[in-house]
Amino acid sequence: MGNRTFTMIKPDAVANGHIGAILEKINGAGFRIVALKMTRLSTEKAGEFYAVHKERPFYGELVEFMSSGHIVAAILEKDNAVEDFRKLIGATNPANADAGTIRKLFAESLGRNAIHGSDSDENAAIEGSFFFSGLEQF
Ligand code: DAT
Ligand code: MG
């Protein structure tokens, strides 16, 4: 058993029909899907999820975008999950993302960048529990 990270396929990638291709990339890179759900964030919940960014100039745009359509939330397991998943998704701005990364392949722009990946083990646990009950993470 490896350790865990949390991901969300964002509203742009869901609306553009990329859920299947992104899940295939995730499985192909050796991540096991522990928990998975399609849902939608209210503006309140999106604001809470991204509260760490609330003083940033892009916060309003981010919250509006993240609550604009359905998302797919998942908990993933692999050795070195957090770091390896950040490599798989690529740079925040898809213009700077390496070839073959999920953001290079599927993101529309810096603000609409297809996918989220936790940035630490601690945040992976917090973010996973934002969407999934204890039993659902088993
Ligand atoms: P990441 O998602 O790579 O961890 P982040 O935590 O710095 O990036 O920012 C969260 C999200 O906010 C990011 O995925 C897209 C959006 N964002 C970041 N910087 C932005 C900017 N300068 N303008 C617009 N949106 C931005
Ligand atoms: Mg981040």
Catalytic residue status for 53: no
Tell the residue nearest (CA) to atom 9 of ligand 1: 92
- pLDDT by residue, tens only, the chain of 138 residues: 579 999 999 999 999 999 999 999 999 999 999 999 999 999 999 999 999 999 999 999 999 999 999 999 999 999 999 999 999 999 999 999 999 999 999 999 999 999 999 999 999 999 999 999 999 999
Provide the pLDDT for residue 131: 98
Would residue 110 count as lying in a domain? Answer: yes
User: Could you tell me if residue 49 is inside a domain?
Assistant: no
Task: Evaluate whether 89 touches 82 at the Cβ level (below 8 Å).
Answer: no
Considering only CA atoms, which residue is closest to atom 14 of ligand 1? 92
* Per-residue pLDDT tens digits for 53-72: 999 999 999 999 999 999 99
The range of the structural domain enclosing residue 132 comes to 3-41+70-137
Which CATH number covers residue 28?
A: 3.30.70.141
Q: Which residues contact 43 (CB under 8 A, 6 or more apart)?
A: 63, 64, 67
Residues with CB under 6 A from ligand 1: 53, 58, 62, 92, 110-111, 113, 116, 119
Looking at the CA of 87, which ligand is closest? 1
Q: What is the C-alpha separation between 122 and 12, in angstroms, rounded?
A: 27
Alpha-carbon gap, residue 62 to 56, rounded angstroms: 10
Between CA 106 and CA 20 the distance in angstroms is: 12
Q: Which residues pair with 73 in a beta bridge?
A: 8, 37
CA of 127, nearest ligand number:
2
- ipTM of model: 0.98
